[in-house]
Structure 1
């Protein structure tokens, strides 16, 4: 690993830690709480006066809608899959499995952070719940919303797109993050900082060591060689 890459990793770690502690250390989370509260009430108040917004938030937070985010990520992955050789597709399968293992592992590590708080819809009194307003069983609350699981998974996908595919793929993946992570904030199931601080800080620290060192390549290459099926590389 080059000195430049090590410095980049350390910089990303520093950014992640600064981001987290800027939220964690101030009493009442400082200005972050004002941002969180403002975003929550902006959407919560308008949902009772805007039917289109109410139903948009309801539909995008219905459990089945999570499948749409998987389709979006799968569609981007399919774009590259169709252009690959059989050997390249085998490697993409190895990358995909590595991505899944990474997402599960980093999510578990993220929940070791000694922070636990309820979502805005459970924290603030007398708020509007989308499930009550529409009758649709949406995910509009959480007993422990930090860090945001859904947002973290999406950000990890974007990181893999940048590491193993292209900057254009990364740009599309960032758009996917914004489109599918924000509904959780709009409905009040997550604070804005659950994603912008919690998910992002964990990813900045964890993914820099995983993707910018040979670590992820070792797992991808091992899976490429040992997965069952055709087109195994010659030993």
Structure 2
């Protein structure tokens, strides 16, 4: 690993820790609480006055809608898959497996973060709940919403797009993050900072050490060589 690559990793780690501690250290989370509260009530107050917004938030937080996010990510991945050679597709399969393993491991490591708080719909009294207003069993509350796991999974996907594919693919993946992570904030199942601070800081630190060192390449190359199926590289 080059000195320049190590410097980039350290910068990303510094950004991640600075972001997290700017929220974690101040009493009552400092200015972040005001940001969180303002964003929550902006949407929550409008649930009873704007029916179009209410139903948009309800539909985009209905559990089956999560499948749309998977379809969006799958379509982006498929666009590269269709242009690849058989050997390239085998490598993409290895990258996909590593991506899933990375998401599972990072999600489990988040259990060690010394933060546990309820979503704003459980924190603030007398709030509007989308599930009650519409009768749709939406994801509108969480007993422990930090960090935002949904947003984190989307960000990990975006990180892999940048590392193994193209900048254009990364920008599309960022759009997917914004489109599919925002509804959780709009409905009050997550604070804004669950995603903008929690998810992002975890990904900045975790994915930098994983994707910018030889670790991920080593696992991808190992799977590429030893996965069963066709187009295995010949042994040297």
Query: TM tier, shorter chain?
Result: over 0.9
Deviations 1:57-109, CA, capped at 9 Å, x for gaps: 00000000000000000000000000000000000000000000000000111
Residue 112 of structure 1 and its aligned partner are, at CA, apart by 1.1
Aligned-residue CA RMSD in angstroms? Answer: 0.4
Deviations 1:93-141, CA, capped at 9 Å, x for gaps: 0000000000000011112101000000000000000000000000000
Alignment of 1:102-117 (within 5 A): 102-117=102-117
Alignment of 1:70-85 (within 5 A): 70-85=70-85
Could you tell me whether the CA contact under 8 Å between 1:110 and 1:147 is conserved in 2?
Answer: yes
- Secondary structure of 1:132's counterpart equals helix
Deviations 1:29-66, CA, capped at 9 Å, x for gaps: 00000000000000000111000000000000000000
Aligned to 1:69: 69
Aligned to 1:162: 162
Deviations 1:162-200, CA, capped at 9 Å, x for gaps: 000000000000000000000000000000000000000
| Gaps in structure 1 of 5+ consecutive residues | none
Aligned to 1:13: 13
Partners of 1:120 and 1:203 in 2: how far apart? 23
Partners of 1:4 and 1:34 in 2: how far apart? 38
- Secondary structure of 2:125's counterpart equals coil
Partners of 2:136 and 2:183 in 1: how far apart? 15
Could you tell me whether the CA contact under 8 Å between 1:46 and 1:53 is conserved in 2?
Answer: yes
- Secondary structure of 1:125's counterpart equals coil
Partners of 1:225 and 1:7 in 2: how far apart? 31
| Gaps in structure 2 of 5+ consecutive residues | none
Alignment of 1:94-133 (within 5 A): 94-133=94-133
Aligned to 1:197: 197
Aligned to 1:50: 50
Aligned to 1:231: 231
Partners of 2:111 and 2:37 in 1: how far apart? 23
Residue 145 of structure 1 and its aligned partner are, at CA, apart by 0.2
Partners of 2:95 and 2:126 in 1: how far apart? 46
Aligned to 1:138: 138
**Which 4+ residue blocks in structure 1 deviate beyond 2 angstroms?**
none
Could you tell me whether the CA contact under 8 Å between 1:9 and 1:209 is conserved in 2?
Answer: yes
Could you tell me whether the CA contact under 8 Å between 1:111 and 1:147 is conserved in 2?
Answer: no
TM-score (norm 1): 1.00
